[in-house]
Structure 1
Amino acid sequence: MKAAVLTNFGDALAYQDVPAPILGTGEILVDVYAAPVLSYANEVFSGARRYLLPMPVIPGCGAIGKVREVGPDSTHLTVGDWVFCDPTVRSRDNTLSPDITLQGWSARGKGGQSLQRYFRDGAFAEQIRVPTECAVPIGEIEESHASLWCAISTLLVPYGGLLRINLQAGETLVVSGATGNFGSAAIATALAMGARSVIAVGRSNAVLEDLRKRFGQRLVPVQLSGNEEADTEAMKKAVAWPIDAVFDILPPSVETKVARAAIMSVRPYGRAVLMGGVGMLGGEDLALPYPWIMRNNVSIHGQWMYEPSAVSGIVRLVRAGLLELENFQVTEFPLRDVNDAIQHAASHGGPFRLTTLTMKGKAGH
């Protein structure tokens, strides 16, 4: 089969023939139709993000495809079913604290790296082998819509964080990092879940204004000034009622004070979830005040990716018409043009922009 292979950090990916994966017990083989190319993929492949990836590797984080072959433990999936290939692979021998690897992307800790040695190759290939539980049915779709359905890879990340803080219909949410790809997806997802208002926080007034036009009165933009206390107050005053929860998805390049300004806007008994990259490249600690957290009964959560049930949940929101994939502007590249796709994704990031690799049929860009 054809695949895109990364041999060393900093090298271009090679489009080449590789052996097709072989099915094992507890696994599913999937024919890949489309795979997302994340906006920061170039930073991963250059080594700038310091992700742990064994070399050589077929990268790629998630895919939409059709089941090619099922294992003996599969009781519902059949050959030809459309599935989302969930890259979040969890160890099966410790359900309390499972080790996690993102197939074809990164690993967490020694256990995750051990898991990664087996489930190492990702979705930039014509076929992928995934754990049975990671092949999640999405129902019938048109083949031409496979790339559009890759948008759930983006939507799932904030959905996992919103589930973690138990966002309820009628609540008000601050999205810190709202002008990025995952932040804008958090806005769409929170509104689909019934949020009363979403306060979108970011630096770009043009992007914030575009989000306001897209989502209407339930979206309240707040442009950051750079003054931490002033920004916190601006968020509190953006609506006439208290802020119930804060969702942080800021990238590694942002200072911790920006994250802290948003978290400090939450009401007593409020919640915050951290899903971004602040501090990953060094810098100051978040340094939230102990007395404020304790006396106000504020809950701070960390969330990496999402729980397994989130995939079915996001599919239900899409199928119900509450979450519109059509928000996303998709640009497709054939697999052989993988390096062009990586550069395009890097230069065309931001809200509701999606770059994909296609393995079946024709792709244009």
Structure 2
Amino acid sequence: MAASTITRDVFGTLPDGREVERVVLRGEGGFEARIISYGAVLQALIAPDANGGYDDVVVGHDAFAGYLAERKFLGATVGRYANRIAKGQFSLQGETVQLAVNNGPNALHGGLEGFDRKLWEIADIDEGAEPAVTLTYVSPHGEENYPGRLDVRLTYRITGPTELSLLMEARTDRPTIVNLTNHSFFNLEGATSGTSILDHHLMVAAEQFLPIDATAIPLPEPPRSVAGTPFDFRKPRPVGERIHEGDPQLRNGRGYDHTYCLGRDGKLALAARLEAPRSGRIMELLTDQPGLQVYSGNYLDGTMSGKGGKLIRQSDAMCLEPHIWPDAPNRPDFPSPRLDPGGVYRHHTVYRFSVRSP
């Protein structure tokens, strides 16, 4: 009998007694995606290396207690608004909305208790040729002071032998803003390898990026060309090759923590390619979102233990977060995050793995 493409079990329990479930989706060979219902977190992603082995490439925790104890967004689904909103404030329908300020003077990743801290419902499991799990969350009107009820539906699906697709949709009953992303921290040498991502080779398919101020809010200027700057990844090069240069933007971000302007026009296309030099793993990220946040793990400070009991330090992992641009509710010149009744917010991202040819 063929092995099941999906398994489902209990990963942990919340303090109020509700169970946190884990669903494992299986592709070809040892390729696996493990998703937990708390935060709709991608808890593990097992991908092949060039030597025929498999290893987990997302940083996180082996047990649920780690996710509950510290809010570090490891593998989490982030919302209602991924990234930052200046001063936690924006105007909608002629009214000023004030959000919680939880990142210096700004609002970050949905507020004090964002979607990453919610228990999602497992709404559907598909054990077909492309195994999938669908999770849902209903955010009530006024949650974290965001207007409108938001009904969110998220599907993780194995769409190729070593390919994971993430499709997110949201609907509202009154005008609101929405900007969702997955916040996985990747190390393609392996989550417990203890190696830095600074020697990973990165390509980003973008001609421009958003310069930021010291609080990581985009400056009041148009997107800036990457040409001639440490932000030019149009051709693959090591993440750490220019990260220590004295560029004011690297100082403001403590490294890379910037949005690249993709200009997707709602079409799925290649946004980034990441390759690990030793394992030979390659990850291509395709998305239909207008921006890609490249974050080099600058605030990982070694105070948190991850998988295998290893401390998670600066540059142990990096994020590639597709989403609408930060502070877009306050910038009419940016892609709009507004969602109205009758409309559908959509976000499609694909993580496609391969290995370097001999």
Shared fold by TM > 0.5? no
TM-score (norm 2): 0.29
Larger Rg: 1
Task: Decide which structure has greater helix share.
Answer: 1
TM score, norm. by length of structure 1: 0.29
